[in-house]
Chain A
Amino acid sequence: MSPSYAHPAGEATARRLVAARALGGFKSVLALAQAMDFEGLRESTLRRVELAGRGLWSHEAEVIAETCGVPAAFFEADFFASRPADPVEVRLEAVERRLAIIERLEASR
């Protein structure tokens, strides 16, 4: 039976790892492994995760997230859905709506 990883082996975890690596600016799993210098998360392990052949334990995801400069929650499946809106984003969306109103108004004149 496969271990009960916090982030199970599969495409979703693989994609999050590759994305976290991209956000951290690590061009290869080797570079990330070297930056982490974390026993148990060597290059070959990271490669297996990226190939969807291994999952991640929560402490491993935390180390990766910290090294890549993303929140540990980035590895959660519902990260985007559960993320509270940034107040500035909300305000910018309001600005966009108001600009659309002005554009419609101008177009009708």
Chain B
Amino acid sequence: MSRDMELQAGDDLSRRLKAARALADLTTAELASLLPPGLGVGPIKAVEQGRRGLSQEEALAIEAACGVEPGSIGEADAEPGVGISRHVRAARCLGGFASAEALAAAIDARGLGVGTIRAIERGAREPSVGELKLIAAACDVPLAFLSPSFFERRSEDPDTRRLEAKLDALMRHLGLDPEAFA
């Protein structure tokens, strides 16, 4: 029976593996020697030649052996770091946390462990505002930095205008003057 290859063979996977190996300055033989049995020189070359895929477990083992960030090889389709996730990762770097584990340890909050942070950084999880606040505070960056639009200078935003209009209506309904609290 063929193994469950979650990461499909092809140019993309080949390129990412080669880049990780180049980064670590390892030959295929040197890399193979650091990996579990079953991931020898042959399979590694097959992946680099686009003839073999990888399981997530294998990708993680290679990432660890090459000393590259988790997801460097295994996050094929989701361009890692897109949107909020890139900003969360950047905030972690600015905060001086070398890993998601270090950030999680600094935050030390229930529900925001290393798994959650990794998922956010992979773009696999949409963080809540509360989670973003915890991350921003730990990394000593403004909360706004975690927004994907942080570097954009917006003068108008239809969503915000709609939100303000709804809120105005709600305040009036409650007998409050929106202008007094603007």
* Interface set of A (CB-CB < 8 Å, partner B): 11, 15-16, 18-23, 25, 27-31, 69-71, 80, 86-89, 91-92, 94-95, 97-99, 101-102, 105
Chain B residues within 8 Å of A98, by CB? 167, 171, 178, 181-182
Cβ of B176 under 8 Å from chain A = yes
Name the residue of chain A whose CB is nearest to the CB of B145: A80
* Interface set of B (CB-CB < 8 Å, partner A): 19-20, 22-23, 68-69, 71-72, 79-82, 86-87, 89-96, 141-142, 144-145, 147, 149-157, 160, 163-164, 167, 170-171, 174, 176, 178, 181-182
Q: How far is the CA of A20 from the CA of B79 in the complex (A)?
A: 16
Chain A residues within 8 Å of B147, by CB? 89
Name the residue of chain B whose CB is nearest to the CB of A89: B144
Chain A residues within 8 Å of B144, by CB? 86, 89
Chain B residues within 8 Å of A18, by CB? 90, 93
Residues B167 and A27 in contact, CB atoms below 8 Å apart: no
Residues B160 and A88 in contact, CB atoms below 8 Å apart: yes
Chain A residues within 8 Å of B81, by CB? 22-23, 25
Name the residue of chain B whose CB is nearest to the CB of A91: B160
> Among B93, B145, B182, which residue has the most Cβ atoms of chain A within 10 A?
B93
Residues A19 and B170 in contact, CB atoms below 8 Å apart: no
Least Cβ–Cβ distance between B62 and chain A, in angstroms: 13
Q: Mind listing 16 A-B residue pairs with CB under 8 Å?
A: A15-B93, A19-B91, A19-B93, A20-B90, A22-B81, A22-B92, A23-B90, A27-B19, A27-B69, A28-B72, A30-B19, A31-B19, A88-B154, A95-B160, A97-B181, A101-B176
